[in-house]
């Protein structure tokens, strides 16, 4: 069982009312007064006084901390041994291990459970997949394994701009707007809705006194044609520019348009290696295919050589030291690879090494991804 830990909200209901002269009379009023979820004396309000827990993952925004409760329960009538519970968060650029402990639990009796709470500060936009994997051994010595996937999306960027009047006289702020880049739509969060029109959060007279500072807030969302391309959005650091128009106390007009504002993009180093394709489950000691994507994140051309180093459980198939050729700045190439595992269970794919022959720099990649290795001659749960 996986449940996101979020704050509860107030229960909302739909009040049903009618005039006293109507056929139901005061029936609806009496029913609402007897309803335990309504506020006494204000039964017709939609907002109740009871707290409700969220029923789904909901929205998760950039900069928030994602918290989740994970519970593994033994529903069988037999005791199981060597239980390993692992929680990974897969983004479009990396795979993070969120488990509090990677140690196995010796035994789990019937109707008992293993609980864990994980936390992660969301620093990337796009699709995030929480992968929960459980492996265990039955009393008969059979090793079984299963996993579940939970997907959630983060695609909003919030920008706070601080503007200060460093002159010696007050100024009237006529306009402060954000012109987004081509990939984003912007929503201003500096007004309060009152009726049909909005009122500025700074009042009717938008004056800025000398040395005073004011904060403006904007929300940017990717346009529909780019929203599904998390990898494209992730690489976009330019979000837009501010357009500021003001007047002095004598009516003189001033205008300032900033250069393109940039957000801090995740650092990948000079060379980024990500997975484009990997099977969920593979057979023990049988070769399987994966596809890696190599991107040159530097501002120079690279000449790359690929080395494949075997680990205790992962064995690469092919020639190590292969020349990949020249890769231009911001360019990428897809690389199909073949490997096999000699150990059952949840195995980490490691052992890739890239060397730039121009600068003699080496980049090593471990824990690229994980794959479930099973014996084709043994039954397993899915």
Q: What pLDDT shows up at residue 382?
A: 38
Q: What pLDDT shows up at residue 317?
A: 93
Q: What pLDDT shows up at residue 306?
A: 94
Q: What pLDDT shows up at residue 337?
A: 94
Q: What pLDDT shows up at residue 289?
A: 94
Is the Cα dihedral 330, 331, 336, 339 positive or negative?
A: negative
**How far is it, in rounded angstroms, from Cα 55 to Cα 118?**
19
What are the distances in angstroms from CA 282 to CA 146, 149, 303, 329, 346?
13, 18, 33, 35, 10
Nearest Cα to Cα of residue 160 among 219, 110, 119: 219
**How far is it, in rounded angstroms, from Cα 119 to Cα 66?**
6
Segment (H or E) for 232: helix 230-234
Q: What pLDDT shows up at residue 161?
A: 87
**How far is it, in rounded angstroms, from Cα 374 to Cα 312?**
17
**How far is it, in rounded angstroms, from Cα 169 to Cα 249?**
7
Rg (CA), the chain: 29
Judge contact between 62 and 56, C-beta under 8 A. no
Which is it for strands 184-188 and 213-222: parallel, antiparallel or unpaired?
antiparallel
Q: What is the mean pLDDT of each run of 10 residues along the chain (382 residues)?
A: 68 70 75 75 68 61 78 89 88 77 85 87 76 88 84 73 88 90 86 72 80 88 65 61 88 88 64 84 91 86 93 91 90 92 86 90 84 69 40
Judge contact between 72 and 105, C-beta under 8 A. no
**How far is it, in rounded angstroms, from Cα 268 to Cα 272?**
6
Is the Cα dihedral 237, 226, 94, 304 positive or negative?
A: negative
**How far is it, in rounded angstroms, from Cα 129 to Cα 369?**
13
Q: What pLDDT shows up at residue 115?
A: 87
């Amino acid at each position: 069982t996986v449940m996101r830990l979020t704050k509860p909200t107030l229960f909302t209901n739909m009040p049903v009312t009618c005039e006293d002269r109507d056929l139901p009379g005061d029936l609806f009023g009496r029913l609402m007064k007897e309803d335990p979820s309504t506020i006494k004396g204000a039964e017709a309000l939609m907002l109740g006084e009871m707290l409700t827990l969220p029923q789904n993952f909901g929205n998760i925004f950039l900069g928030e901390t994602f918290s989740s409760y994970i519970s593994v329960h033994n529903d069988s009538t037999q005791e199981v041994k060597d239980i390993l519970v692992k929680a990974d968060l897969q983004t479009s650029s990396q795979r993070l291990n969120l488990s509090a402990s990677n140690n196995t639990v010796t035994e789990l009796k019937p109707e008992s459970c293993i609980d864990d709470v994980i936390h992660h500060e969301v620093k990337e936009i796009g699709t995030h997949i929480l992968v929960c994997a459980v492996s265990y051994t039955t009393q008969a010595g059979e090793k079984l394994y299963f996993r579940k996937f939970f997907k959630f999306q983060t695609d909003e960027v919030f920008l706070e701009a601080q503007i200060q009047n460093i002159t010696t006289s007050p100024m009237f702020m006529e306009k402060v707007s954000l012109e987004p880049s081509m990939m984003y739509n912007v929503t201003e969060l500096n007004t309060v809705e009152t009726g049909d029109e909005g009122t500025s959060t700074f009042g009717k007279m938008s004056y800025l006194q000398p040395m005073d500072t004011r904060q403006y807030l904007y929300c940017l969302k990717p346009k529909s044609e780019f929203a599904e391309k998390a990898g494209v959005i992730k690489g976009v650091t330019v979000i837009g520019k501010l357009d500021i128009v003001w007047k002095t106390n004598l009516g003189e007009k001033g205008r300032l348009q900033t250069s393109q504002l940039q957000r801090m993009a995740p650092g990948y180093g000079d060379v980024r290696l990500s997975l484009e394709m990997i099977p969920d489950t593979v057979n023990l000691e049988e070769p399987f295919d994966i596809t890696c994507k190599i991107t040159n994140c530097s501002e120079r051309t690279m000449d790359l050589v690929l080395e494949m180093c075997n680990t205790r459980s992962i064995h690469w198939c092919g020639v190590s030291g292969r020349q990949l050729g020249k890769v231009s700045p911001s360019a990428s190439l897809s690389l199909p690879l073949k490997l096999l595992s000699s150990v059952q269970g949840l195995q980490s794919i490691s052992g890739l090494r890239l060397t730039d022959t121009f600068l003699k720099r080496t980049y090593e990649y471990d824990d690229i991804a994980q794959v479930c290795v099973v014996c084709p001659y043994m039954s397993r749960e899915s």
